[in-house]
Amino acid sequence: MTVLRQSLRNRVVHWGIALSCFGLIATGILQMPVAKRYGLTVLAPAAGDYFLTLAWHYGFAAVFVFLCILHLIVHALEGDFDIVPQRGDLKKSMLIVKAMLTGGEEPPSEKYLPEQRLAWAAFVAVFALVIATGLLKTWKNLAGCDLPDPALFWLAQLHNLGMLLTILLFIGHMAAFLFKPNRKLLPAMFSGRVDAEYAAERHPLWRTKGEARAEKAESPSGS
Ligand code: HEM
Ligand code: HEM
């Protein structure tokens, strides 16, 4: 038996952000004079065309920024804060990693594991950096808009730092699936469903919106 974990909308947003992010990394790297240097232009001459890769970078950026903002607005409007970090998440994450390594017992989790909530917050912070610096770089490219040289230098450094951190987070995201118990979450991002037994055992505190509302109605004081 399986239970629905990720709606189609959530999956479309996840994969839209993932694919546009890969596109941004590829076309961002091609903004730097690397294609010709590494012989890439022999295989794909377009890779060395700065104005073409810049246009694609803008295209991916438009999708990426739109989906990131949509994700924040939709969940805020729905009052769904399941993935927002909670007090004590760092400590609980360490206990879970320790349990996965030693085969011991894990503390019970809500819909998301505490380390997933922390990972989400790290993605939000890094994406805020690439979006803010990216938008400023876009503004500077408009006719008649300019910034002093030191500002341009730091914008480029911070935008590049954002890319480096994005790549590191992605590696961490994939490394999470080296742990066998976490692999049970993989179908959530494909079919949207996970094994019901897995959900009951590892995420016993996971409440659907209806259940959470019913519980609140039963104990209005919140105790
Ligand atoms: C994961 C997201 C992103 C990655 C990995 C990324 C990566 C890069 C890299 C490596 C460069 C070339 C080095 C540099 O000029 O700093 C670059 C340039 C640039 N990026 Fe991004 N970027 C991302 C998101 C964005 C976004 C969201 C925007 C716009 C809203 C944007 C706009 C630009 C602009 C305007 C340039 C400079 C083009 C130029 O004037 O030469 N980027 N990006
Ligand atoms: C091969 C690529 C990828 C796979 C297989 C994948 C898979 C997954 C899975 C299984 C989850 C957990 C879903 C759940 O708990 O219900 C997840 C969550 C998430 N993904 Fe991905 N993902 C990929 C790429 C990306 C990329 C490129 C980004 C960001 C640029 C990203 C950002 C996130 C975030 C922020 C979460 C929520 C926090 C977390 O679970 O760590 N994913 N992904």
With vertex at residue 81, the alpha carbon angle to CA 16 and CA 182, rounded to the nearest 5 degrees, is: 65
Whether 222 contacts 216, CB under 8 Å: yes
Instruction: Name residues contacting ligand 1 (CB within 6 A).
Output: 21, 24-25, 28-29, 31-32, 54, 57, 61, 64-65, 130-131, 134-135, 137-138, 141, 156, 159-160, 163, 166
Q: What is the pTM of this model?
A: 0.92
Q: CA-to-CA distance for 162 and 133, rounded, in angstroms?
A: 9
Q: What's the CATH superfamily of 2-218?
A: Transmembrane di-heme cytochromes, Chain C (1.20.950.20)
**pLDDT on residue 223:** 45
Domain ranges (residues) in the chain:
2-218
pLDDT, tens digit (0-9, with 9 covering 90-100), for 48-102: 888 999 999 999 999 999 999 999 999 999 999 999 999 999 999 999 999 999 9
pLDDT (tens digit, 9 = 90+) per residue, 15-26? 999 999 999 999
| Ligand 2 site, residue 24, Cβ cutoff 6 A | no
- Measured by CA distance, the residue closest to atom 36 of ligand 1 is 137
Ligand 2 atom closest to the CA of 123, numbered from 1: 35
| Statement: residue 219 has pLDDT above 80 | no
pLDDT above 80 (res 215): no
pLDDT tops 60 at residue 222: no
- Of the candidates 131, 115, 133, the one whose C-alpha atom is nearest the C-alpha of residue 173 is 115
The C-alpha atoms of residue 52 and residue 58 are separated, in whole angstroms, by: 10
Spatial contact of 17 and 195, defined as CB atoms under 8 Å apart: no
State the average pLDDT for the chain.
Answer: 93
Cβ atoms of residues 110 and 82 within 8 Å: yes
CA distance 218 to 42: 68
pLDDT tens per residue across span 154-196: 999 999 999 999 999 999 999 999 999 999 999 999 999 999 9
Place of tokens 């590829």: 26
Quick check: CB of 46 below 6 Å from ligand 2? no
Which of 126-130, 141-145, 157-161, 219-223 has the weakest average pLDDT? 219-223
CA of 15 to the centre of ligand 1 (A): 20
